[in-house]
Structure 1
Amino acid sequence: MRVLGVDHRALGNKPRLSRTSDEPSHARIEKWLLGRIDAGRLLPDDKLPREEELAAALGVSRMTLRQALGSMESRGLLERRRGRAGGNIIRERQIECDLTGLPGFTEQMRRANVRAGARVIGVKRVRAGRAVAASLELGRNQDVFEIVRVRSARREPLALEETYLPAHLFAGLDRRPLTGSIYAIMRRDYDLAPHSAQEWLEPAVATHAHATLLDVEPGAALMLVTRTSFTASGVAVEHAFDRYRADRTRISLRTSVSTTVSAELTADAVG
């Protein structure tokens, strides 16, 4: 850990907050610190100068400085540790996984301007368990392909994918290379691309098996995304459990008020 003083070269030139601007001082402080992170000057585990020293060097109150630091903390870029050995510690920048529009992991990483990687742990044809069969609307004794992969970004494991596809719809899938986008294969080779999905997001903890594959400690925080995907004609084609490292990812999802809800609100207002 580097403990930085107010004149450390990693901080560069400090913002001139005395200049008149429509942008509040705390926003300019945050932008300055983010710029140092993006430039590779402030590194993960760097400890910023003491708040009173940094505030004095910037010519602002501690409250103003804390607004900037609090915003960075909420974005996962800063850890504020308490106690005598505490302080404000720069964290590894999290990767935003945008789930809007049912993207696969490859597309999520493209949106984040990060190159995706995949390591296939196992592909096998198995009898569908009760929950998977129900989700995929399969009859008794029908098989599915179970695909387990570790997805990576910035050369680090980021997510563990456990995917189930109906075997009768995807004949020969287990003989194909699966280090790229499975959605692309489903669309290109089988004309069964996912079009809509029901997804559930919930916190989870890493088991020993998960921890080994994701390079985290057992019990580490994960974000579990459970998903059942359907084609445009309503055929269930995928049931999946995606476990994301909570220390490396932020899940985002853009939503809007549906046409039905808008119509109901309009009717209520008129009535």
Structure 2
Amino acid sequence: MSTPELHRGIGVPAHAQIEQWLTAAIASGELAVGDRLPAERDLAADLGVSRMTLRHALAALERRGLLVRTPGRSGGAFVARPRIDCDLTGLAGFTEQMRRAGLAAEAAIRTAATVGADAATAAALELEPGDPVHEVSRVRSAEGAPVVLERSRFPAVRFADLLELDLSGSLYTLLRERYDMEPHTAVEHLEPRLASPGEAAELGIAEGTPLMLIERTAYTADGVPVEYAHDLFRPDRVRISVTSRWSGG
């Protein structure tokens, strides 16, 4: 990989020029997913900048999800997989979102049990605290890479035999085809949080890695609540979008 000549005194800092160069190399395919950049010492010397300047550029690319940096002798800076666009404008489950992205969705079931509804779950699903709900926790992956840790709760009174079914595919498809209670609308709240040790282990990331929590209550077209969920997304793998429309005022 040939390094560019950086220009001085043009109003664009050296770290920004390095960021632009590497961004273009990734976009053009000169640098492919999984490619490792040269060692910092060598790359900084080739570019004629300090390692601090280079690290500034690499950190910006990591924040944008273009690079992944790992410590240790076998570590370094690697070209990351492109982030997957997940549009919250329409109520599409993970399986459908991955289909739109041309990726194969996978599910690893962690828990599937009937539990008593806590206060938040009961309020969301219009139940009494302690009423039975089916809790299904799954790690969802795309092309073998963990993307989201899902925990969904469904009112047992409406889906009595849910846990006896195949839970490895789209749960929304099950709700539609077996129970005729397809989710139609949802209220969702987004909140950043840091990965706990258990969450980090499930998602294959370091403890304390930033995640995006989406808390969702899904309703049928008749307004019946059918799901209360907490989904933890890896923002280095997913870009969440919402389409807004001007309503006047």
- Report the counterpart of residue 189 of structure 2 in structure 1: 200
CA contact (8 A) 2:214 2:232 kept: yes
- Report the counterpart of residue 237 of structure 1 in structure 2: 226
Whole-angstrom CA distance in 1 between matches of 2:34 and 2:167: 35
- Report the counterpart of residue 13 of structure 1 in structure 2: none
1:150-192 CA distances to partner (integer Å, 9 max, x unpaired)? 0001211111000000001111000001000000000111011
CA contact (8 A) 1:126 1:145 kept: yes
3-state DSSP class of the match of 2:236?
Answer: coil
Q: TM-score if structure 1 supplies the norm length?
A: 0.70
3-state DSSP class of the match of 1:201?
Answer: strand
3-state DSSP class of the match of 1:209?
Answer: helix
Deviation at 1:91, TM superposition (A): 3.1
- Report the counterpart of residue 28 of structure 2 in structure 1: 35
Aligned-partner residue type, residue 121 of structure 1: R
CA contact (8 A) 2:135 2:153 kept: yes
Within the alignment, does 1:150 sit opposite 2:147 as a pair?
Answer: no
Unaligned runs of 5+ residues in structure 2 are 5-18, 48-57, 70-75
CA contact (8 A) 1:47 1:90 kept: no
- Report the counterpart of residue 173 of structure 1 in structure 2: 162
Alignment of 1:71-220 (within 5 A): 75-78=64-67, 90-220=79-209
- Report the counterpart of residue 16 of structure 2 in structure 1: none
Whole-angstrom CA distance in 2 between matches of 1:95 and 1:222: 15
3-state DSSP class of the match of 2:29?
Answer: helix
1:59-112 CA distances to partner (integer Å, 9 max, x unpaired)? xxxxxxxxxx999777522479xxxxxx98633322222222011000111122
Q: TM-score if structure 2 supplies the norm length?
A: 0.76
Unaligned runs of 5+ residues in structure 1 are 8-25, 55-68, 81-86, 266-271
Alignment of 1:42-81 (within 5 A): 43-47=34-38, 75-78=64-67
Query: Which is higher, the Rg of structure 1 or of structure 2?
Result: 1
Within the alignment, does 1:253 sit opposite 2:242 as a pair?
Answer: yes
Whole-angstrom CA distance in 2 between matches of 1:28 and 1:211: 32
3-state DSSP class of the match of 1:120?
Answer: strand
Pairwise CA RMSD: 3.2
CA contact (8 A) 2:33 2:80 kept: no
